[in-house]
Structure 1
Amino acid sequence: MAGPPIENGVVLIQNGKIKAVGPASSLPIPSGWQQRKAKVVTPGLIDAHATAGLTGIFNQDHDQDQLDHGSAIQAQLRALDAFNLHEPLVAYLRSFGITCLHSSHAPGELVSGQSLVVKTAGRTVDQAVLKAPAMLTATLRSSASKGARKSPGTRAKMVAMLRQEFIRAQDYQRRRKESDQEGKAFQRDLNLEALAEALEGRLPVLITADRAQDIASALRLQQEFGFSLVLDSAAESYLMPEEIHQAGVPVILHPTMARPQGDRENLSFRTAAKLKAAGIAVALQSGYESYVPKVRVVLFEAAVAAAHGLSFEQALATVTVDAARLLGVADRVGSLEAGKDADLALYDGDPFEYTSHCIGVIIDGQVVESEPR
């Protein structure tokens, strides 16, 4: 994905990194090196927003850590502290060529916590993590509303509460700075500390919003407080591409095949293509599913996007290099380039054809999947 496709290509791997990439005619394979062959080799796929590793395949209380309902605003919660690298759903996704996840607490509370970017193989999450925290996750859609006699009960209340919390974080920044200057002890508040990191530009804010009115609210919040915004799900983003492009905001789009109901009732298979045509950075996600097996496969979502306006290269980019750039990990993953992590997916045909199989997955130069999927 760093350039045009290479026919009859070779990827050389050494010490967990890509050593060289090129056509077989000009890149000889060193004698004695182990070889893996496939009809198509891509960078390891990236799921730009998932809950796998936090939500479990058994759909039981003991493996459902994707969302805490204790408070509307809980910026202090870290996905890093709950992520289960050995959850079967993680292995399930890996078997399709997905080598990297951006996993977070499911959209639901007004502020759900801090996400992480992690590889889908390793002994521990600390070993596998690429970036933590990655983003501060917030929600502006009906799922964040508590309904009558509870707070927040309306869209206006949701936005008002977010604004008030960011104002509190601004005051927290000021008081912390004054304490540092005066050499005084300062009492930390983990919730406000995370919000302050967002205000300082060190932690992007991922806002899940589907309706155009909620997307507009997210853009107003960004304009008021100056944080780095990433739109998530964004079913009706195709109704306001000019505003999103002008704000310079990227979009992690809902699964292409998501069900058109609730806030997503106006979603379209062609949204990715429309946003791409408007010059907006787009990545695809598996999102959150409440039914077993609790996860979608982003490879299939990209395939449907390719059938509805995106070229093959554009669709592949939404789950490789474009996703890596959006998540801030493109220096490590997302493309087949010398010096990057040796994360590859091997297929016995066109990856977007349903009859093709993933026949191998390599992460950090190690073969972690070799059985056809």
Structure 2
Amino acid sequence: MKKIIYSLLVFFCIGNIVAQQTPADKQSTAISIEGATAHLGNGEVIENSLIMFNEGKITFVGSAMMRIARMGTVINATGKHIYPGFIAANASLGLAEIDAVKASVDVDEIGINNPHIRSLIAYNAESKVVESMRPNGVLMAQITPRGGSISGTSSIVQLDAWNWEDAAIKVDDAIHMNWPSSFTRGRWWLGEDPALKPDTRYGKNTDDIKMYFANAKNYLAGQKSTINLPFEAMKGLFDGSQRLFIHVNGQKEITDAITIAKSAGVKNIALVHAEGAESVTDLLVKNDIGVVLERPHRNPNSEDDAYDYTYTIAKTLMDKGITVAVGMEGQMERMNTRNLPFYAGTFSAHGLDKEDALKMITSNSAKILGISDMVGTLEVGKDATLFISEGDALDMRTNILSKAFIQGRDISLETHQTELWKRYSNKYKSE
């Protein structure tokens, strides 16, 4: 019996050491932040601002020069900057912890068409990767499944929670589809020509997608003798309550994807990746389709693209009136999500106005994800999800957070990384 008790004590001690820190309590006192330069997320900037919030909601946004009573605890942020919480679109945070450990990876499911697979219920709110987002101002994310033709359903979470139920901001916001390419490469490992060539299966692949949409629509409109879960999950695409995120590259593929989805009755569409979108901007504007770009720190996919294509594409699309956000899909995407503000900063360094770059990870992301009524800008009535930075939050040299709030809750900015940094800093100071 003693051995069992000792084992349990060791287990709980180890659990307390490795577990994420306790999520912040619900806001109980009003807070006023004055003196900071407020970047509202909609392109506007207020010097010497006053931001007040209570019970998780913003109650005042304006100048600190106004004669208005400060509420509750007053934070003097003179010389600092205040921003809306950053939103990571198309991320897989919390769905995998260590890529080399299969048991910790839950980003995709077996099968080709899985619209009924919900990423939210697999989300690990206690992921150590998730907690490392907050010190850079990344406070919300769209948790997105991967794989297959239809990957599944994403949800939007805030990044300081006990579990996925507490974390959820918007449940089952969108279904994600991977559009086929009209080109293919040979399998070099089988001796095939690795050069890029037209894919003779492209027509059949797109016909299969048309048929799947048609079958789902007919099922939903008819008498249901048996329940088809994948088709049931498609209902939101046809009634407008969900958005279809199409992961697609290529001018032809983008045009086909939009045309086929619209003709199938899908009401709301967003594009992910969308290389070649600059050639079909009129189509995107006409259909009010937003674009979630890939991270800029990569090489262009086409040999015909300019050397700086991946850095300037955001400005090209936004100048045409397209709503553009930054997505995280790619190599080491979960760990790299903490660099979201610096990707926006890279777009800013290549022609995009700094406040427009900020929109890509605040108001534009919120609009594309369908949560702009709650977050994305510093506005009265919206969630008090925001942070204070010592300097420019899009610059890794000056993105130093002193305070962060999610729904008014004063959250911890400590992570296992900051704890290790402090531990070993003290070690070398003592020598």
Q: Does the TM-score normalized on the shorter chain lie above 0.5?
A: yes
Kindly report which structure 2 residues correspond to 1:144-293, keeping only aligned pairs within 5 A, or say none: 154-176=201-223, 186-227=225-266, 228-261=268-301, 268-290=310-332, 293=335
- Structure 1's 88 and 155: CA in aligned 2 closer, same or farther, altered over 3 A? farther
Return the match for 1:122 from 115, 138, 161. Answer: 161
CA contact (8 A) 2:138 2:338 kept: no
Per-residue deviation, 1:237 = 1.1
- Partner Cα distance (2:66, 2:259) in 1: 53
Q: What's 2:92 paired with?
A: 51
- Partner Cα distance (2:258, 2:303) in 1: 18
Per-residue deviation, 1:207 = 0.4
Task: Describe the superposition over 1:26-77 as per-residue Cα deviations: whole angstroms up to 9, x where unpaired.
Answer: 1556375152636110001111221111132454212211112x21111110
Task: Describe the superposition over 1:151-203 as per-residue Cα deviations: whole angstroms up to 9, x where unpaired.
Answer: x9943333222111111112102214xx6xxxxxx422110111233122222
Task: Describe the superposition over 1:93-149 as per-residue Cα deviations: whole angstroms up to 9, x where unpaired.
Answer: 22210111011112x31100000011111112112211110101000145999999x
Gaps of 5+ in 1: 180-185
- Partner Cα distance (1:240, 1:165) in 2: 26
CA contact (8 A) 1:169 1:195 kept: yes
Gaps of 5+ in 2: 1-39, 188-198, 419-431
- Partner Cα distance (1:298, 1:269) in 2: 14
- Structure 1's 371 and 61: CA in aligned 2 closer, same or farther, altered over 3 A? closer
- Partner Cα distance (1:138, 1:157) in 2: 16
What is the one-letter code of the residue matched to 2:44?
P
Provide TM-score, normalisation by structure 2.
0.76
Q: Classify the secondary structure of the residue corresponding to 1:135.
A: strand
Per-residue deviation, 1:370 = 4.1
- Partner Cα distance (2:91, 2:160) in 1: 16
Per-residue deviation, 1:297 = 2.2
Is residue 2:144 matched to residue 1:104? yes
Q: What's 2:134 paired with?
A: 94
CA contact (8 A) 1:98 1:345 kept: no
Per-residue deviation, 1:309 = 2.3
CA contact (8 A) 1:145 1:158 kept: no
RMSD over aligned CA atoms reads 2.8
Per-residue deviation, 1:296 = 5.6
Is residue 2:326 matched to residue 1:326? no
Q: What's 2:54 paired with?
A: 14
Q: Classify the secondary structure of the residue corresponding to 1:297.
A: helix
Q: Classify the secondary structure of the residue corresponding to 2:310.
A: coil
Per-residue deviation, 1:351 = 1.4
- Partner Cα distance (1:242, 1:292) in 2: 33
- Structure 1's 371 and 40: CA in aligned 2 closer, same or farther, altered over 3 A? farther
Is residue 2:391 matched to residue 1:363? no
Moved more, 334-343 or 29-38: 29-38
Q: What's 1:62 paired with?
A: 103
What is the one-letter code of the residue matched to 2:282?
E
- Partner Cα distance (2:58, 2:214) in 1: 46
Q: Classify the secondary structure of the residue corresponding to 1:336.
A: coil
Is residue 2:115 matched to residue 1:72? no
What is the one-letter code of the residue matched to 1:55?
A
Is residue 2:177 matched to residue 1:138? yes
- Give the % identical residues: 25
Task: Describe the superposition over 1:318-365 as per-residue Cα deviations: whole angstroms up to 9, x where unpaired.
Answer: 111111111111111111111111101221111122211231321111
Per-residue deviation, 1:7 = 0.6
CA contact (8 A) 2:141 2:157 kept: yes
Per-residue deviation, 1:268 = 2.4
CA contact (8 A) 2:385 2:405 kept: yes
Q: What's 2:191 paired with?
A: none
CA contact (8 A) 1:134 1:203 kept: yes
What is the one-letter code of the residue matched to 1:137?
H
Per-residue deviation, 1:5 = 0.7
- Partner Cα distance (1:66, 1:129) in 2: 18
Per-residue deviation, 1:217 = 1.8
CA contact (8 A) 1:236 1:264 kept: no
Instruction: Tell me which structure has the larger Cα radius of gyration.
Output: 2
Is residue 2:392 matched to residue 1:345? no
Larger RCO of the pair (alpha carbons < 8 Å, separation 6+):
1
- Partner Cα distance (1:143, 1:299) in 2: 33
- Partner Cα distance (1:349, 1:252) in 2: 26
CA contact (8 A) 2:43 2:355 kept: no
Provide TM-score, normalisation by structure 1.
0.88
What is the one-letter code of the residue matched to 1:205?
L
